[in-house]
Amino acid sequence: MKYAISAATGKLGQTAVRTLVDEVGAENVVAIVRDGEKGKKLLPAGVEIRVADYGDEAALVKALAGIDKLLFISSQPGGAISRDNQHKNMVEAVKAAGVGYVAYTSFPMADKSNNWLAADHQLTEKLIKESGVKHSFLRNNWYLENELTFLAPGPASQVYWANNYAGWALEREYAAAAAKVLASENPKEVYEFAGPKRDYKDLAQELGKATGQEVTVKQVSQEEYVKLLEGMGLSHDVAAMYASFQQPIDDGSLTEESSDLEEVLGGLTPLDQAIKEVLGR
């Protein structure tokens, strides 16, 4: 059985590769990367490195030759080739190469989400379903690392605007769970991966546990939050972009109760310990 992971030199990809090596052995793992030399430096010895970009369907077909199972890590938006076209290329390559199973990293409740971030994932899930290839959708909630501005000391510490919940967990936990699903014999079609449902007040409480310090949390409007970031020297556009990271929380897109992540991993890192890890303590 040959297993492949695309976008394998990204942070999530690297952790997924290492976990998969532990599960099935390096000799059975193929890492698909854009930069072969970078792949050799970052990934475990014994893993086969194949070079392909999501923008090049022919290269993807070649890279997927002989692959039985693929972890398809979604690309980053904003590239020279749109993410929807990149993902179309990968699905077409999967069909052409005869890959038997695909696990795709998607967005929470993607099939019914109205959040703008879900659109490309909805399309990709649809394409995978229509391909007829056996599949699992790994609908990842929010990485705790996304909250470094809130967690780390600084002018924006413990300030937020989003008035709702998220299922924060460490990026490495999402990555490890993806690899475990890929290696499993009877995976489900959908995994709603998330930590326990929490809001920013909960996050501040756990930060206090992690640091041993009293934490005071402050909610402001989105406009005030943007102005705060501008006061730190960010341009308006960059400040607005950072503020937008809380929008999926505010509109309820990340509010879900699911034990899938905990069950696949056999347990999650307690949030205060996860915060320590993010802060390097």
Total domains in the fold of the chain: 2
- Domain with residue 240: its CATH number is 3.90.25.10
Q: CB under 8 Å to 112, separation ≥6 — which residues?
A: none
Q: What mean pLDDT is reported for the chain?
A: 96
Task: Tell me if 28 sits within 8 A of 3, measured CB to CB.
Answer: yes
Question: How far is residue 281 CA from its own chain's centroid?
Answer: 23
Segment among 11-25, 99-113, 142-156, 161-175 with least mean pLDDT:
142-156
Q: What is the pLDDT of residue 77?
A: 75
- Same domain? For 56 and 76 the reply is yes
- Same domain? For 206 and 89 the reply is no
Q: Report yes or no on 182 lying in a domain.
A: no
Q: Report yes or no on 187 lying in a domain.
A: no
Kindly report the pTM of this predicted structure: 0.95
Per DSSP (E only), the strands in the chain are 3-6, 29-33, 48-51, 69-72, 101-106, 134-140, 159-160, 190-193, 218-219
Residues 29-44 pLDDT 10s: 999 999 999 999 999 9
Residues 44-95 pLDDT 10s: 999 999 999 999 999 999 999 999 999 999 997 767 788 899 999 999 999 9
Give me 51's structure tokens: 């070079």
Task: Tell me if 168 sits within 8 A of 200, measured CB to CB.
Answer: no
Residues 254-280 pLDDT 10s: 999 999 999 999 999 999 999 999 999
Q: What is the pLDDT of residue 176?
A: 98
Residues 130-183 pLDDT 10s: 999 999 999 999 999 999 999 999 888 999 999 999 999 999 999 999 999 999
Q: Which domain holds residue 161?
A: 142-168+195-255+269-280
- Same domain? For 15 and 85 the reply is yes
- Same domain? For 86 and 157 the reply is no
Q: Where do we find the tokens 């030199």?
A: 9
What are the percentages of helix, strand and coil residues in the chain, rounded to 5? 45, 15, 40
- Same domain? For 79 and 162 the reply is no
- Same domain? For 164 and 237 the reply is yes
- Same domain? For 126 and 214 the reply is no
For residues 120 and 117, give the distance between their C-alpha atoms in angstroms, rounded to a whole number.
7
Q: What is the pLDDT of residue 127?
A: 97
- Same domain? For 107 and 223 the reply is no
- Same domain? For 21 and 126 the reply is yes
Write out the H or E segment, with its range, that includes residue 138. Answer: strand 134-140
